[in-house]
Amino acid sequence: MQKILNYVNGQWVEPQGVESVEVINPATGETRAHTPLSRTAEVEAAVQAAAAAFPAWRRTPVQERIQPLFRLRDLLKTNMAEISRAITDESGKTFEEAKAEMVRAIENVEVACGMPMLLKGEISEDIAPGIDEMMIRQPLGVVATIAPFNFPGMIPFWYLPYAVATGNTYIVKPSEKVPGAMQIIFRLIEQAGFPPGVLNMVNGAREAVDALLDHPTVRAITFVGSSNVAKYVYSRAAANGKRVQAQGGAKNPVIVMPDADMEMAVKIIADSAFGCAGQRCLAVSWAVTVGEARNEFCEGICEAAATRKVGYGMEEGVQMGAVISQQSKARIEQLITLGASEGASVPVDGRGTVIPGYERGSFVRPTILMDMKPESAVWRTEIFGPVLGLMHVNTIDEAIALANAQSYGNQASLFTSSGAAARKFRYEVEAGNIGINIGVAAPMAFYPFSGWKESFYGDMHAQGMDAVEFFTQKKVIVERWPKEWTRKF
Amino acid sequence: MQKILNYVNGQWVEPQGVESVEVINPATGETRAHTPLSRTAEVEAAVQAAAAAFPAWRRTPVQERIQPLFRLRDLLKTNMAEISRAITDESGKTFEEAKAEMVRAIENVEVACGMPMLLKGEISEDIAPGIDEMMIRQPLGVVATIAPFNFPGMIPFWYLPYAVATGNTYIVKPSEKVPGAMQIIFRLIEQAGFPPGVLNMVNGAREAVDALLDHPTVRAITFVGSSNVAKYVYSRAAANGKRVQAQGGAKNPVIVMPDADMEMAVKIIADSAFGCAGQRCLAVSWAVTVGEARNEFCEGICEAAATRKVGYGMEEGVQMGAVISQQSKARIEQLITLGASEGASVPVDGRGTVIPGYERGSFVRPTILMDMKPESAVWRTEIFGPVLGLMHVNTIDEAIALANAQSYGNQASLFTSSGAAARKFRYEVEAGNIGINIGVAAPMAFYPFSGWKESFYGDMHAQGMDAVEFFTQKKVIVERWPKEWTRKF
Amino acid sequence: MQKILNYVNGQWVEPQGVESVEVINPATGETRAHTPLSRTAEVEAAVQAAAAAFPAWRRTPVQERIQPLFRLRDLLKTNMAEISRAITDESGKTFEEAKAEMVRAIENVEVACGMPMLLKGEISEDIAPGIDEMMIRQPLGVVATIAPFNFPGMIPFWYLPYAVATGNTYIVKPSEKVPGAMQIIFRLIEQAGFPPGVLNMVNGAREAVDALLDHPTVRAITFVGSSNVAKYVYSRAAANGKRVQAQGGAKNPVIVMPDADMEMAVKIIADSAFGCAGQRCLAVSWAVTVGEARNEFCEGICEAAATRKVGYGMEEGVQMGAVISQQSKARIEQLITLGASEGASVPVDGRGTVIPGYERGSFVRPTILMDMKPESAVWRTEIFGPVLGLMHVNTIDEAIALANAQSYGNQASLFTSSGAAARKFRYEVEAGNIGINIGVAAPMAFYPFSGWKESFYGDMHAQGMDAVEFFTQKKVIVERWPKEWTRKF
Amino acid sequence: MQKILNYVNGQWVEPQGVESVEVINPATGETRAHTPLSRTAEVEAAVQAAAAAFPAWRRTPVQERIQPLFRLRDLLKTNMAEISRAITDESGKTFEEAKAEMVRAIENVEVACGMPMLLKGEISEDIAPGIDEMMIRQPLGVVATIAPFNFPGMIPFWYLPYAVATGNTYIVKPSEKVPGAMQIIFRLIEQAGFPPGVLNMVNGAREAVDALLDHPTVRAITFVGSSNVAKYVYSRAAANGKRVQAQGGAKNPVIVMPDADMEMAVKIIADSAFGCAGQRCLAVSWAVTVGEARNEFCEGICEAAATRKVGYGMEEGVQMGAVISQQSKARIEQLITLGASEGASVPVDGRGTVIPGYERGSFVRPTILMDMKPESAVWRTEIFGPVLGLMHVNTIDEAIALANAQSYGNQASLFTSSGAAARKFRYEVEAGNIGINIGVAAPMAFYPFSGWKESFYGDMHAQGMDAVEFFTQKKVIVERWPKEWTRKF
């Protein structure tokens, strides 16, 4: 059984005398490890290490700070299979999905390797005769990320490479459910050559979270998780005067127009709704057909749902893996039942799924909730499982109105061949990530991961220049150097 | 007596049945007006008006949205004297200071006139073959500013022009102590041609503030005031899920090096410490001399303090006006007394100031607290009056350490002729606005007003691109348009 | 008869003893003025004035340099009718077209008013420990524009406001055919408050052009005109070591897809082809229909061409004015005849147009060259008159291939309702300005006016940030300020 | 003896039947290789290969185009010693200097790895209701570099990584004197995984240069060399309608103020003047002392010049190597003699240098031309050897005037401890690269290499965003998608 350690000040540390939680392979039900639940003292040690490393790291020129990131990029590439396997065995997703996740992680490292360009400040000559003004971006100090279970290898990389490339020192708290990928990644970080204390990891749960939110030395917090925890993190960190961004849940709509390429729409929407067993904040969660799109799409998507191959993610040909836990499986099944009780039919029903050979696995097959009602509770509830609701309207205006009636705003997608429909949609729909003939509108690493409404609290987002802005503070300098002073020479 | 009205939905509105507070000319003690203390219902009306105006305003092309700003710029220029007189008669500052304040306001309008450039989003072709990605900045909706008393004509313009040029609709709550300037300015706004509801004003105090902080339709809050209220605003708005920036107090140091041009240093530091009667968040509040700078600087600054002409700000030759109120005068005098009790000497003492002909005025003459102690409470307390503390150390390292020991970080200044000292200072000192041979390092409108530490809560600042970032939300779009689809033609 | 003067060093100057050319109202045939053909000596005087004004203007802070631009914007707005009338009476275009031209001119002034933001340089702290690097944009010195006849009021504003806002001093040589608008505009420039020598105007033709191209003090040249003169200007200015951009001619295609909104396509394409009597470098010059688009479009466009009301541009209801001169009329008619001789039919024929009451006017009615051949000379020749060629192909690929076979690359447009067609088109077509369901894809002032291929020589374009880049040179500074040096204090 | 080959379309090619020139180790006089002088046909083949590779390379997503650059970075790092040895043995510089050169090359690769960020275009919603505008950067096609002998491993990297990361295909013509480094580097390029034809190398001299300048398929040319050839390249490429930048020679001044740290100034200026045997376009070529700086600096620099260890660059402890050739040695010695004849004294004289054991080497020891006259020809002539002229003035104003009297403008440096002197200097001195207490103000790869005056022809420079601008053309798109069109659904 793997030992899960903290990584503090360049050392692997085993927290003593703390509770732990089991890490279970969702496909097999086997216990893989125990995550120690670090207490405030362990967080304190990590903060101290990060704070001690900060002054020298901040003084390291940016093009030297990116050198270990270039090495880390290479190491992540060469060790992708090992990390991905750990992701599959802890999160339940397929091996292909795990590798795709790591590709995204690496892209963020690559973007952060361009930090010398991104970190530039500004300068203006002669704001008054002989007086210049400049703005310089300086790092904050110690910053931290609280990561969720669904992308254990990727989400820390929305922040980590930007945080350290800009000169901060950093602490990550992985999800206690999926600590394994970051164990491997920190081994690579160790090889990449970061000075001790620049990158730190503390495993744990609620107490560790609160310790980070409350510690006066931690200058900024990034969080990804459910909306209610996101709001908690946002307001608690703010009450402590911190800079904070907190990304929450989603209930992402997709609109299918009658002029869509229906075959493509079915395939992509199925991938979006059932990929990663629906446990993605960008997963399409409900589809609304417009006018004549209805029949062909509904038939197609039911077929796609019914035939998706479900199983252990390491097995060849498996298209969808397990959900994260038995509790999650139970919750998803309850929500399907709720949907049915609220008037939806269930033409494809994943409740009670048992995969032969993996009877202890937490599997839920793809499920369709047909004719979900806009007044139903299930329509407003994030299921975080492989369940796609279907609705129908007559016009694109109705469809957009329905999308905008949701309190979440993480993603919205449209399938159409019409330039006008696409433009109207992206102009009017209230979500931060928009897909046109795209199922998972995940922004590239050089764009912000841009949630809206209850899917995001804060102003600057993950990835790209938003991350640079978030992890730096601006210093404005006004300088007067009278040329008269040179007369004395 | 002037009537103070709200401006909602393009109409001047008199709140009925509400309490009011007296607006007193701090120099003469005369009552000029009564500010109505709007209640939640008045705020609600303004929010409704702003919300109703939003959809059409947002759809107005940006180069049309800036047209009324161009007109407003002209109107502010031609009406500067009238506005400035109102500022002087309500805030106590001199007429020259009031005009300088309005110059800064106008500069912000001018920068916002450049919004077509600043609002641009980004686009990348071929993030995958045939797939493009773009980022568009869209307005938030209804946004609001809670303004302080010390710059009644300028501080709303740190936000207002950016908020509306980016397509938001806007509500300002001026300080109840100084409502007059904004009454005139909204008359000009009316002439400038903004559609009804785009710009709104609600007068009031605590209840109006809380109504804005709590209203679910208000998407973003900007605040300037004391640090404890700033922190209150930051955490309450965050708990309501809002985007928020809150600018707080200051205790700004200036370091005088032995190689400084001493005559210039004395003049500029006196202007900084005593200008606007010290009621500026960028006022120098304490000076620390290094090595041999001590004697010459101390003599000079005492002389400058003792000879500054104090009086009614509209009178010719007056260099310093009144503080905002009798309560403020009393508080400042108590803090001087506290400083003296903590070991500082008071070679120039402004307590008990009476200006002949203005016996009811709230005047405090320039005051020097010599040899203020780093362990004293007065050193850590924002006085917000014309009081300059003096300290002395032997090296620039000690001086910077002292500056960084403050919990505030709004501004820090250095007087020197050394390029190396300047660079070391701007690199090491922990403040957002830095002056080199500058007394009031106020960023130009095209730079952020960049407080640090307890002087600022949030990430994006006032003015310039920070304001654009703050008042917009990013929408990321991923588009697939298969070229195969064109084969059907 | 109006006197056409030069404007040099803040003075109106009448060149003595020089030849002149008649300025003729193309609609009435009346002589309006005589343009003096300044010689090298007059250019020399203007260059001297501009050079003398440069040092002080360059040292004027940018936010002061934009103040006269704000005033000029207001003056252009209030005097738009007078300027537009002069444009109509010299260029032949309609009064509405002249006003639209001035709107574009003003937009460029507005963008240049945002120069404090656009002129910012860059700074990086710690490129090595204790060493900083910065880049500052500084003006070049004396720069000049050689303007064409077709947009006498607009094209100088693609450059002028950027040139002076960035701190250069400037000389414009208007087209000798249409000097009147700039006479009025320089009267406004005089009122706007620019210091003498900052903005200068020299009227003339070839000798003045060469004098500008050869003068060693002129640092940069911008030119708009025909491609062969553009290439001449580009290579002669380059041989003199200057920075240069030269915009040439065009032969702009439009593709009409079968899924286009045909009514809209006809209307917009007619406006594009016949607006300004076809004398626009963004005018659509030939239309290619794809598949079933043919019949409906051809019928519609012939009808639109045949019914367009032609006459004196100041008359109410006139939709199209005269071409610039009798020579131009003759040349256009010859090209129509050439087209006919090369196999095109001429279902709508503007040859021999006479407008009653304006018998001396240079009128050519809208003309259609149906079934123009790709191998014909007329297809490769810029006509610069109200002549639209029609062609037909079966697929979008053929249509794009045809568009790309042209040696010009100024504009290409597509009419479609398909997002995929639009994307394919903008990805593949080789032109700098692209319209999707747009007839005249004129970039807004905050975007570059971006010709390609033989339509443009250079790298940076007119308008926006391109103009800022073009009119400034970058100075990179590397600074070492050892902190050890502060020990001596 | 090494065989020097071309690299075309992914193949190593030996030009047949062409002349060649000897490549001689300047320190030993030994022949190392023969560079084939490719003729127009070889250039044609390379252009064809590059043109054929362009369409697919341009369609490759930018984040895939950077993958081989990441690999190339690693390969350059691991093969740095081999490349550097080739540089030393062909150019004469020391091994340390060669390695430092390669560090700069690698930094440019690293910056180009950030291309996804740098290549972004712009987008504006609603330039009119329902109409959007965007600007996209697209590659030019085939572009080429003509490289000089003094930095055989670095200068191609000012362009190559940017050219290919932006989607162009590329041809480099190395200097025929120093072909070896690029032979190794192209071996690494081969391993890095670029598709055939994307990167090509043609060895040769004048005929190959002209073939590149004249070929209609080559869209852009970059050149580094002497000013007269730069001007030739600039005007010939322009006459062919190409985009071009051409970097020329230099005669770089350094000003030494009396308040400079004299020990540091001497050391750094000696390194600048004598490093790379003075064969750098950023080498300090003449020093002017101000006031009391004279004696101490002159003594120090003579001492530094006299004691610099000269020899074969691969030998331990050698501080300065050979100049490029016997002809160069002879020319340098003649210029020293000229300087002496024009009134300068030669307190340290490198003429007639013979290094024992390297009697066939082209060595010139560091030389000082004391009291060089401003009216002398030697003061205006680029020596490109280890010769430092000394001059003296009384004020900084005189010193700057002298610097600005030069026709070149590549670099200017100042040594001072005064912030005011530094600011005055960088504000007033007419050069593109400025050093404050810096001897070789080489811009980092993320800044432009910014020559002025006769040191540069063009507008966009090498490195960073300038290179991105230079190697891309902007396409502006205006799109109308009427929302009415969605009603039909």
The H-assigned helical ranges of C3-66 are 40-59, 62-65
Contact between chains at B235 and A234 (C-beta distance less than 8 A) = no
Q: Name chain D contacts of B124, Cβ cutoff 8 Å.
A: 62, 116, 119-121
Residue A205: other Cβ atoms inside 10 A: 18
User: What residues have CB less than 8 Å from A346, skipping those under 6 apart?
Assistant: A336, A339, A340, A367, A368, A369, A370
D262 is written with which tokens?
A: 């004299």
The pLDDT > 90 percentage for chain A reads 99
Residue D417 to residue B418, Cβ atoms within 8 A? yes
Residues 6+ apart with CB under 8 A from B328: B362, B384, B385
Residue A143, token pair as written in the block: 């910053």
Amino acid at D70: F
Rounded to whole angstroms, how far apart are CA atoms C244 and C241?
9
Mutate: best of C480, C486, C487, partner B, most B CBs <10 A: C486
Q: Check pLDDT > 80 for residue A489.
A: no
Counting one residue from chain A and one from chain C, the pairs whose CB atoms sit within 8 A come to: 69
Q: In this structure, are residues B223 and B229 in contact, taking their beta carbons and an 8 Å threshold?
A: yes
Domains identified in chain A and CATH numbers: 2-248+455-477 (3.40.605.10), 252-436 (3.40.309.10)
Give the pLDDT band (50/70/90) at residue B479: very high
Task: Say yes or no to pLDDT of D474 above 90.
Answer: yes
D330 pLDDT tier (thresholds 50, 70, 90) = very high
Q: Are the Cβ atoms of A125 and D427 closer than 8 angstroms?
A: yes
Find all residues with CB under 8 Å of B348, minimum gap 6, and list them: B302, B305, B306, B365, B366, B367, B368
In order of A1, A11, A36, A76, the CA distances from A7 in angstroms are 19, 5, 12, 18
The pLDDT of residue D488 is 75
Band of the pLDDT at A207, cuts 50, 70, 90?
very high
CB contact under 8 A, A243 and B454: no
Mean pLDDT of the region B85-89: 98
CA dist., res. C426 & res. C403, Å (int): 12
Q: Please state, in angstroms and rounded to a whole number, the distance separating the CA atoms of residues A413 and A422.
A: 9
Residue whose token pair is 């002729």? B417
A180 CA: distance to closest CA in chain B (Å): 31
D419 min Cα distance to partner chain A (Å): 6
> Residue C355 gets which letter from DSSP?
B
Yes or no, beta carbons of D125 and A427 under 8 Å apart: yes
pLDDT recorded at residue A1? 78
Is the distance from CB of C146 to CB of C209 less than 8 angstroms?
Answer: yes
Residue tagged 């509400």 (tokens): B18
Residues of C serving a catalytic function are 281
D432 and C474 within 8 Å at the Cβ level: the answer is yes
| B406: DSSP letter | S
Phi, psi dihedral angles at D447 (to 5 degrees): -125, 155
Structure tokens at A199: 């990158």
Q: Which of A199, A252, A243 is nearest to A223 (CA)?
A: A243
Q: What is the ipTM of this complex?
A: 0.97
Burial class, C359, CB count within 10 angstroms (exposed 0-12 / middle 13-18 / buried 19+): exposed
Q: Which of C114, C397, C427 sits opposite B125 (nearest CB)?
A: C427
What pLDDT was estimated at residue D187? Answer: 98
Average pLDDT, integer, range A278-304 = 98
A 10 A CB-CB count for B471 gives 26
* Mean pLDDT of all residues in C360-376: 97
Q: How many CB atoms lie within 10 A of CB D351?
A: 16
Q: Tokens at residue C106, please? A: 């003003």
Structure tokens at C346: 């001429």
CA-based nearest distance A43→chain C, Å = 31
Whose tokens are 């050559």? That residue is: A193
Q: Which amino acid is at C436?
A: I
Any idea of the CA torsion for A210, A213, A215, A221, to the nearest 10 degrees? 140
d(CA A109, CA A464): 10
In angstroms, what CA-CA distances link C477 with A28, C123, C127, C309?
62, 9, 12, 61
Query: What's the mean pLDDT in A112-125?
Result: 98
The answer to whether the Cβ–Cβ distance between D111 and A116 falls below 8 Å is: yes
Average pLDDT, whole number, for chain A?
97
Rg (CA), chain D: 24
B481 shares contact with chain C (CB less than 8 Å): yes
What does the alpha-carbon distance between residue B56 and residue D126 come to, in Å, rounded to a whole number?
12
- pLDDT above 80: residue B489: no
* Residue tagged active-site, from B113, B276, B281, B302: B281
What is the band of C226 on the pLDDT scale with cuts at 50, 70, 90?
Answer: very high
For C485: left if phi > 0, alpha if psi spans -120 to 50, otherwise beta; the answer is: alpha
Query: B487: pLDDT confidence band, cut at 50, 70 and 90?
Result: confident
pLDDT reading at D489 higher than 90: no
Give the model confidence (pLDDT) of B201-258 as tens digits. Answer: 999 999 999 999 999 999 999 999 999 999 999 999 999 999 999 999 999 999 999 9
CA–CA separation, B135 and B69 (whole Å): 26
Q: Does D363 touch chain C (CB under 8 A)?
A: no
pLDDT for the residue numbered C485: 94
Cβ–Cβ gap D446/A482 under 8 Å? no
Residue of chain D minimizing CA distance to A446: D117
Q: Residue A86 pLDDT more than 90? A: yes
Interface of A with C in 113-172 (CB under 8 A): 116, 119-129, 134-136, 138
Are D337 and D297 a contacting pair, CB within 8 Å? Answer: no
| DSSP assignment of A181-193 | HHHHHHHHHHHHT
Shortest distance, CA A180 to any CA of chain C (angstroms):
37
Can you list the alpha helix ranges (DSSP code H) found in D259-318? 262-274, 294-307
pLDDT average, residue stretch C210-224: 98
Measure the CA–CA gap between A388 and A302, rounded to whole angstroms.
Answer: 10
pLDDT at D174 > cutoff 80: yes
What does DSSP assign to residue C224?
Answer: E
> CA nearest B302: which of B371, B217, B377?
B371
Alpha-carbon gap: B458 to the closest alpha carbon of chain C (Å) = 23
Q: Is B281 known to be catalytic? A: yes
Given pLDDT bands bounded at 50, 70 and 90, which one contains residue A135? very high
Q: Would you call C127 and A417 a contact, using CB atoms and an 8 Å cutoff?
A: no
Q: Given the DSSP bridges, would you call strands C31-36 and C20-24 parallel, antiparallel or unpaired?
A: antiparallel
What SS3 state is found at C133? strand
Q: How far apart are CA D195 and CA B256, in angstroms?
A: 62
Residues of D in contact with B120 (CB under 8 A): 122-124
Tokens standing for D461? 């420079």
- Whether D241 and C435 lie within 8 Å, measured CB to CB: no
Confidence of residue D236 (pLDDT cuts 50, 70, 90): very high
Chain C contact partners (≥3 CB pairs within 8 A): A, B, D
Chain D interface disruption, residue of B123, B436, B468, B475, most D CBs within 10 A: B123
If pLDDT is split at 50, 70 and 90, which confidence band does D487 have? Answer: confident
Residues 390-429 of B with CB under 8 A from D: 416-420, 422
| Confidence class for position A104, pLDDT limits 50, 70, 90 | very high
Structure tokens at D165: 């990361």
Q: Does B238 touch chain A (CB under 8 A)?
A: yes
Rounded Cα–Cα distance for residues A399 and A392 (Å): 8
The predicted pLDDT at position A487 comes to 84
pLDDT, tens digit (0-9, with 9 covering 90-100), for A5-32: 999 999 999 999 899 999 999 999 999 9
φ/ψ of residue C353, rounded to 5: -60, 130
Give the distance from residue D439's alpha carbon to the nearest chain C alpha carbon, in angstroms: 10
| Residue entry with tokens 């007033």 | D428
| Residue A14 burial (C-beta neighbours within 10 Å; 0-12, 13-18, 19+) | exposed
Contacting partners of chain B (3+ CB pairs under 8 A): A, C, D
Output the average pLDDT for chain B.
97
Percent pLDDT > 70 in chain A is 100
Query: Do residues A43 and A215 make contact, with C-beta atoms less than 8 angstroms apart?
Result: yes
**How far, in Å, CA of A151 to CA of B225, rounded?**
41
Token readout for D488 is 């039909």
Q: Mutate which of B168, B478, B485, B486 to test chain A, going by most A C-beta atoms within 10 A? A: B478
pLDDT exceeds cutoff 90 at A263: yes
**CB of B179 closer than 8 Å to CB of B128:** no
Question: What is the DSSP pairing of strand D121-128 with strand B121-128?
Answer: antiparallel
- Beta-sheet strand order (sheet of D20-24): D2-3, D31-36, D20-24
Q: Which amino acid is at C286?
A: W
Tell me the three-class secondary structure of A356-384, residue by residue: CCECCCCCCCCEEEECCCCCCHHHHCCCC
Q: Verify whether the Cβ–Cβ distance B435 to A461 is below 8 Å.
A: no
Which of A418, A420, A489 minimises the CB distance to D421?
A: A489
Alpha carbon dihedral C67, C73, C79, C84, in 10-degree steps, equals 140
Give me the residues of C, 289-308, that contact D with CB < 8 A: none
Instruction: Compute the distance between CA of residue D148 and CA of residue D165 in angstroms, rounded to an integer.
Output: 23
- pLDDT > 70 fraction of chain C, expressed in percent and rounded: 100
